Amino acid sequence: MHSLPRRLLPLLFCTFAIAASAQTQDTGISIPHMDPAVRPGDNFYLYANGGFIAHTKLPPDRASIGVFNALVDLSFKQVASIIDDATKANAPAGSDERKIADLYKSYMDEAAIESHGVPALKPHLAEIDAIHTPHDLARALGQSVRADVDALNLGQFHTANLFGLWVAPSFNDPNHYAPYLLQGGIELPNRDYYLDDSENMKSIRAKYQTHVATMFRLAGLSDPEARATRVLALETAIAEKQISLADSEDIHKANNPWHPADFTAKAPGLDWPEFFTAAGLDKQDVFLVWQPSAFTGEAALVASQPIDAWKDLLAYHLIENHAPAISKAIAAERFAFFGTTLSGTPQQRPRDFRAQAIVSATLGDPVGKIYAKRFFPPEAKAQVESMVANLIAAFHARLEDITWMAPATKKEALTKLGTLKVSVGYPDHWRSYAAYQVSPDNLFANLWNADLFEYHYSLGRIGQPTDRTEWCMEPQTVNAVNLPLDNSLNFPAAILQPPFFDPKAPAAHNYGAIGTIIGHEISHTFDSEGAAFDSEGRVRNWWTPEDLAHFETVTSALAAQYDTYEPFPGVHVKGKQVLGEAIADVAGLAAALDAFHASLKGNAAPKVANFAGDQQFFIAFAQNWASVTRDAALRQQVLTDPHPPGQYRALTVRNEYGWYTAFDIQPTDKLYLAPKDRVRIW
């Protein structure tokens, strides 16, 4: 069994890559985006998107551009108007509007960053410098812990701190929040970057070492080259102790309750009592340790590796993770490595855009509250909620039809569907940001305090009753997510806009575009990860061994289908890594097609540009995935992301019988799959 994050999109795409403008297209599918010269059965992705690809020029500040990005751009314009109004309002100190205005100002004020950044960094560097004993080191490592990971909802497994905290409903008591601890300690995206022997990775490592040295030099530290050598050696040793992304995604390996004494016994080397005290976690009597072998391995490294190497690592991570707030030169060097070398993007996004991104991410709820009110009308919410109801009915019918599931399993699946909480647009209630202080001219302090604010918010939730109406995304985020421990879904307002959802577009388009996305998220409720959580969010294997065997046979065929995709010679999509997302795509497409047909109530769907309803449905689905991506970014996605690249997500149609009929696909077509090879999940 295998578990995967349930958000719809790579976070990277949502954070860094934005297109020029979103189009409005109330006729639904975009004809200019298509390439009629391509046969739909040979490459359905290019058939639906060839025009978009031919006409899209990647600006130098983008790693990727797609229809998702166009919508992200629209959302940012909307957020920009919120910031602009907050700035003009001159709102009272301490109010949400004032915080929005001040945080934006602090990011835009380059002169203030230049004069405050290094002085703000200095005391933190001095603290690291004052580490002399293993006890001191344990304290510093504990103080560095942040709530910067999220294993199940957002699929954020990476933290550069030694370990990361995630507070979520407990695997074993889903009615209360518990602290989960995840592996960390490296700055590059994952362990493969340190351990893979390909020429491409070797070259990245050489450039990385130079980059680390440059960061030390720019921050004014002595012996930058020697320090960089030590950092790379230590991070490589940590990477060796970490487990892979695919293994991290397996929740059946993650339910490891450890009491404080277990850490000392099972992971000797780190002064755990000091570590927990410094992290504010000394009152906890049980933790869920996600990757136990990494905790054992990394704790041993704390004892076996020289304290000086650890000090260098802490100093480098401190500088790297606050780069935009320290100085122009340090911020530019960070982008040169992480933006250009790793993602292939020559230029940074404009400063005002980056400032909006910081405000939107840091003040998620205060911005979201205004966003929802201003940009998500009640009629749109009602229409999407009725589509959701149709999708749930389609899943209900499909589950009822399944013959391979044991009756008890089917009953629990239907109970899960019946109790699934689907939230559309925005949360029912909002978080208070009263404890977050914002200065108009000290970005370093603002970012530092924001991380601590989030951390203390998480600490405060431990042991509290679970709030099943909670959101883990902001309304202004173009994405969607399944929260397995809450048995709930979030569909933020920002994704419920054209081209994904348009109240004026034909149903064929809306079901093909946003309907398949809603179906994707619902499917996660029952998929390989959903199968591990019952209707109350408890980790309980509610499948029989026979159900599981059938599911694994069917889904391994799907993994094998994805293994055949080869974006670069010799570089294949990792079927196992993307399996959870591929399953959700197959199931979401099938259920959305059913829901679309049901919505017609026996009437024929209106034609658009001579395309029948089902044709529009499949084209709209494939158009969700239009993108132009730089090679380096695509390589990074194949290595690190649980989502398949969009060009292959569009090919999900191969598994759907309705697609063969709609486009008259024949065995001679390249995408043709014999009926026995078409994967049906539900």
The residue among 1 and 336 lying less far from Zn ion, judged by its C-beta, is: 1
Nearer to Zn ion, 9 or 182 (CB): 9
SS (H, E, C) 529-589: CHHHECCCCCECCCCCHHHHHHHHHHHHHHHHHHHCCCCECCECCCHHHHHHHHHHHHHHH
Binding to Zn ion in span 573-592, by CB under 5 A = 581, 584
Residue 681 Cβ, how far from Zn ion at the closest point, in Å? 13
Looking at the Cβ atoms of 323 and 584, the one nearer to Zn ion is 584
Least distance to Zn ion from the beta carbon of 235, Å?
Answer: 30
Instruction: Please report which residue ranges of 462-512 form alpha helices under DSSP H.
Output: 507-510
- Tell me the number of residues near Zn ion by CB under 5 A: 3
Question: Cα separation of 470 and 640, whole Å?
Answer: 28
Smallest distance, Å, CB 651 to Zn ion?
16
Residue 6 or 62 having the CB closest to Zn ion: 6
CB of 581 to Zn ion, least distance (A): 5
Sheet holding 163-169, edge to edge: 163-169, 177-183, 287-289, 257-258
Cβ 604 to Zn ion shortest distance, Å = 32
- Report the residue number, 242 or 555, with the smaller CB distance to Zn ion: 555
CB of 595 to Zn ion, least distance (A): 18
Question: 11: helix, coil or strand?
Answer: helix
Point out which span in 3-11, 142-150, 327-335, 569-577 binds Zn ion (CB under 5 A). 3-11
CB 520 to Zn ion: min, Å? 6
Count of beta carbons in the 10 Å neighbourhood of residue 588 = 26
Site string for Zn ion, 431-450 (x = CB under 5 A): --------------------
Tokens of 223: 């012996």
Q: 12: closest CA among 627, 651, 652?
A: 627
Q: What x/- string results for residues 540 through 579 when contact with Zn ion is judged by CB under 5 A?
A: ----------------------------------------
CB of 3 to Zn ion, least distance (A): 12
* Nearer residue to Zn ion within complex by CB, 278 or 584: 584
* Closest CB to Zn ion among residues 65, 584: 584
Q: Which two tokens stand for residue 380?
A: 């749109």
**Residue number with CB closer to Zn ion (370 or 584):** 584
CB of 49 to Zn ion, least distance (A): 21
Q: Which is nearer to Zn ion, 242 or 482 (CB)?
A: 482
CB of 5 or CB of 324, closer to Zn ion:
5
Q: How far is the CB of 245 from Zn ion (least distance, A)?
A: 15
* Residue 473 beta carbon to Zn ion: minimum distance, rounded to whole angstroms: 13
SS (H, E, C) 301-357: HHHHCCHHHHHHHHHHHHHHHCHHHCCHHHHHHHHHHHHHHHHCCCCCCCHHHHHHH
Q: Is 273 helix (H, G, I), strand (E, B) or coil?
A: helix
Give whichever of 4 and 608 is closer to Zn ion, judged by the CB atom. 4
Smallest distance, Å, CB 583 to Zn ion?
Answer: 9
CB atoms within 10 A of CB 210: 15
Output phi, psi for 611, to 5 deg.
-90, 130
Stretch that binds Zn ion, among 6-14, 179-187, 271-279, 416-424 (CB under 5 A): 6-14
Q: How far apart are CA 508 and CA 518, in angstroms?
A: 14
How many CA atoms, within 13 angstroms, populate the side-chain half-sphere of residue 673?
18
Residue 454, CA distances (Å) to 146, 179, 363 in order: 8, 14, 11
Asked whether the beta carbons of 238 and 228 are under 8 A apart, the reply is: no
Does residue 151 bind Zn ion (CB under 5 A)? no
Q: Which is nearer to Zn ion, 156 or 296 (CB)?
A: 156
Taking contact as CB under 5 A, which single stretch among the options 4-12, 239-247, 373-381, 644-652 is the one that binds Zn ion? 4-12
Asked whether the beta carbons of 242 and 182 are under 8 A apart, the reply is no
Cα(398)–Cα(595) distance, integer angstroms: 11
Query: Between 584 and 671, whose beta carbon lies closer to Zn ion?
Result: 584
Q: Which of 312, 527 has the CB closer to Zn ion?
A: 527
Residue 8 CB, nearest distance to Zn ion (Å)? 5
What is the rounded distance in angstroms from the CA atom of residue 76 to the CA atom of residue 69?
A: 10
- Residue pair 559/576 in contact by the 8 Å Cβ criterion: yes
Per-residue binding letters, 358-397, with Zn ion (x by CB under 5 A)? ----------------------------------------
First to last CA, the chain: 17
Length of the chain: 682
Q: What is the nearest approach in angstroms of Zn ion to the Cβ of residue 380?
A: 23
Q: Among 188, 107, 191, 180, which Cα is nearest to 148's?
A: 180
With respect to Zn ion, which residue has the nearer C-beta, 438 or 584? 584
The rounded distance, in Å, linking the Cα atoms of 232 and 213 is 10
Residue range at the interface with Zn ion (CB under 5 A); choices 5-13, 20-28, 314-322, 408-416: 5-13
Binding mask 9-38 for Zn ion (x = CB under 5 A): ------------------------------
DSSP states along 125-194: HHHHHT--SHHHHHHHHHHT--S--BTTTT-B---SSSEEEEEEE-SS-TTBEEEEEEE---SSSSTHHH
Min dist CB 173 to Zn ion, Å, is 26
Cα(640)–Cα(466) distance, integer angstroms: 31
Residues 41, 47, 53: CA angle, nearest 5 degrees: 145
Q: Compute the half-sphere exposure of residue 382: CA atoms within 13 Å on the CB side of its CA.
A: 3
Q: Which residues bind Zn ion (CB under 5 A)?
A: 6, 581, 584
